Amino acid sequence: MRVVVLMGGKSQEREISLRSGEAVLNALKELGYEAIALDIDGELCTKLLELRPDKVFIALHGTYGEDGRIQGFLDILGIPYVGSGVLGSAVAMDKDLTKKILTFHGIPVPRWVTVRSGESINWNTFPAVVKPADQGSSVGLFLVKERHELEKAVDEVLSISEKVLIEEYIKGRDVTVGILKNEALPPIEVRSRKGLYDYESKYTKGMSEYIFIEEEELAKKLQDLALAVHRYLELKDISRIDFRVSEDGKPYVLEANTIPGMTELSLFPMACRKKGIDFKEMIHMLLS
């Protein structure tokens, strides 16, 4: 079976994508697949048509990879791929649209507003979280405590995104739940040494501590919510749903990731291992 791994790309998360893609590529080769790595460039269409892969494994994070564009491109070429389709990818990439859909279905999310260039900032609750509505890996993430910090953070985020999300800060714990083939994996609590699970905390060894949730009732509630989010957003094969659990134990959905990281520090493979599924088995399951 010939599998092309799409990696790299043009987003702010290119470096992480290359690391994820390399891990996937190595696993595929060890499993006996004919695995070929491709980056996104002007020759991508020609290369794919020449290679005629049986399947594509998308290891692209962020814009052009996780937002439905590459999925639509592959659909037009008639090449099957791992993961969510155009609709689910595009909706999940936009945190504002995600929150609107989840709110409609009664899924708890932090209170939020969005701001575009030239719009006034209608927000007076602090602390608050400021982030792009359409980026992943905590790119452009700020925790602000005063109005002047908020305005500065919004300006910085507008330099990398057309839509800024300002979100209520929920005091509590960061937790994530992976979904593999419609089954919820064990929830993981993330404790950042910085107190904010930002880009550095995610991808620098020793910057975060990872603890599996042992409270059975909470773990079950998180898994049920994660599966509901996966279903409501029409996701497929794989996702990772991020939560903030308040001090009184109430989970709030922050976002859905349709192409979770596959690096040595990534949460999704970690949850799979806890479930007894090693990295190569996980990759094989996703291709089946």
Give, as one character, the DSSP assignment of residue 37.
Answer: E
Contacts of 212 (CB under 8 A, 6+ apart): 186, 187, 188, 189, 274
**Active-site annotation holds for 257:** yes
**Active-site annotation holds for 54:** no
Distance CA 197, CA 184 (A): 22
Contact between 188 and 210 (Cβ < 8 Å): yes
Kindly list the distances between the CA atom of residue 282 and the CA atoms of 133, 139, 148, 272, 277, in Å, as whole numbers in the listed order: 29, 27, 46, 7, 6
User: Which candidate in 66, 174, 189, 255 is catalytic?
Assistant: 255
**Active-site annotation holds for 240:** yes
Distance CA 283, CA 38 (A): 18
**Active-site annotation holds for 208:** no
Distance CA 82, CA 71 (A): 10
**Active-site annotation holds for 138:** no
The three-class DSSP label of residue 285 is helix
**Active-site annotation holds for 26:** no
User: Which candidate in 14, 173, 240, 244 is catalytic?
Assistant: 240
User: Which candidate in 13, 66, 134, 198 is catalytic?
Assistant: 13
User: Which candidate in 11, 20, 84, 137 is catalytic?
Assistant: 137
User: Which candidate in 242, 244, 252, 266 is catalytic?
Assistant: 242
Among the residues of 105-162, which ranges form H helices?
147-158
C-alpha neighbours within 13 Å on the C-beta side of residue 122: 7
**Active-site annotation holds for 122:** no
Contact between 118 and 164 (Cβ < 8 Å): no
**Active-site annotation holds for 13:** yes
Distance CA 237, CA 225 (A): 17
User: Which candidate in 33, 203, 232, 252 is catalytic?
Assistant: 203
Catalytic positions are: 13, 137, 203, 240, 242, 255, 257, 261
